[in-house]
Structure 1
Amino acid sequence: MDSRTIISVAVGGFLGGITRYELGFLLGNNGVLCANLIGSFLLSFITYYFIDRKPLATWLNAGIGTGFIGAFTTFSSLITTIIKLESQDLIASIAYFLVSSLGGLTLALLGFVLARKYGRHQQND
């Protein structure tokens, strides 16, 4: 791995973590949910549009996907929030888990579909 990739992932990770933290600060428990849902869409879209088409350098793709989005989304914060909610309200905890899981999958699918559709449209022009 070259130094550009390492630096790109480190900078992306820093920015992604700070962005998630600020979103959590502004929205509380909903900040983690929003970060994970947005991240699901972005990672899918970026993977199937930018990375497949290769308009960006490999080191930049790693910084965006692995660094920024990897730090922006977080499984540990999801689990922590679910456990915290479970101690207060079991139904809210289950709903949060379902919205996170099904919403994440739905938005990842939407990102995939839009990336493929937009990518084909660009190739036909």
Structure 2
Amino acid sequence: MPSPAPTLLAVAVGGMAGTGLRLAFDLAFPHGDAEFPIETLLVNLVGTFALGWLAGGLWTRPTTPTWLKAGLGPGLIGSFTTLSAVMASLLVLTREGEAWLGALYLLVSVAGGLLLAALGLKLGSRLAHRPMPHEVGDAGSTL
């Protein structure tokens, strides 16, 4: 049985990177308690697209190592996106008397997340059916 150490390390490194990206979004798009939580929405929509893209593409390749899947999925994207932040934003908006804004936020989060996850799956699937390059050229382009 292979050692779980590379997978655990990949999740830890991905988690640190995802948390840093999340903080960057929070700082770039601040909002007050009674305002639309744009940064949480953007983070979750970007995250659902990225996860769909990975699941439909890179993860379907038999040569993709388990540690990479774990580092990118639960590690990077898991720490970048948070359902708990969505729920907290909904509760705060409701408490602030902005239930209609909370309902809109929930609708856009769910519908947008599903749409972008489906788009990511489709694009990732297209990527998975392209041959992998054997070496990286000088320009750094691999796809």
TM-score, length-scaled by structure 1: 0.90
SS at match of 1:51: helix
What 5-or-longer segments of structure 1 have no aligned partner?
Answer: none
| 1:91 paired to 2:93 | no
Aligned to 1:104: 113
The whole-number CA distance in structure 1 between the counterparts of 2:94 and 2:63 is 44
Moved over 6 A (4+): none
Structure number having the greater helix percentage? 1
Aligned to 1:75: 83
Q: Give aligned-pair identity as a percent.
A: 34
Say if 1:24 and 1:30, in contact at 8 Å, map to a contact too. no
Q: What is the total number of aligned residue pairs between the two structures? A: 122
Q: What amino acid is the match of 1:76?
A: S
What RMSD, in angstroms, separates the aligned Cα atoms of the two structures?
1.4
What 5-or-longer segments of structure 2 have no aligned partner?
Answer: 31-36, 132-143
Aligned to 1:115: 124
The whole-number CA distance in structure 2 between the counterparts of 1:54 and 1:91 is 46
| 1:16 paired to 2:13 | no
The whole-number CA distance in structure 2 between the counterparts of 1:56 and 1:23 is 29
